[in-house]
Structure 1
Amino acid sequence: MKNVVISEDSAEIRALLEQARDEDIIVQLTDGSKFILSAVNDFEVEVVKTRQNKKLMALLDERGQQTQTISLAEVKRKLNLSD
């Protein structure tokens, strides 16, 4: 994801940004290209960055393939915990 800083001098751009605070907007150019304008919160940015972390995604994919599990009773026994 790339951040681009723009000037809000244009009344049209400022109006679009204000609308995007409340709901996502699809912006369409005369050539038919469409874009989504959406307000972003920090959590959404963090999710995108996490998904771009190839090492983490590979680790999670690998872990997701594991079928062997350890019961709670076995964990308690190994840690010398009582019920």
Structure 2
Amino acid sequence: MTMAGVAVIGERAQVSGWALAGAVVHAGEDAAQVREAWHALGDDVAVVVLTPAASAHLAGETARGGPLTVVLPG
């Protein structure tokens, strides 16, 4: 059985701890880094947790399909 993965994208200070829970962490401090991380997600990622800033940088891109996204409270 294959398990779907969880990825977290956002500012390093807010996302680094998620690695302890087994999530794949992509630190992105600006719009370009966040978009690069989003496009680099593997096919095995089913859920992406975004910081509020990362969500704003991806406005419109997450609605085009792909993994389920969740935005952390601000």
Shorter-normalised TM range: under 0.3
Structure with the larger helix share: 1
Using the size of structure 1 for normalisation, the TM-score is: 0.19
Using the size of structure 2 for normalisation, the TM-score is: 0.20
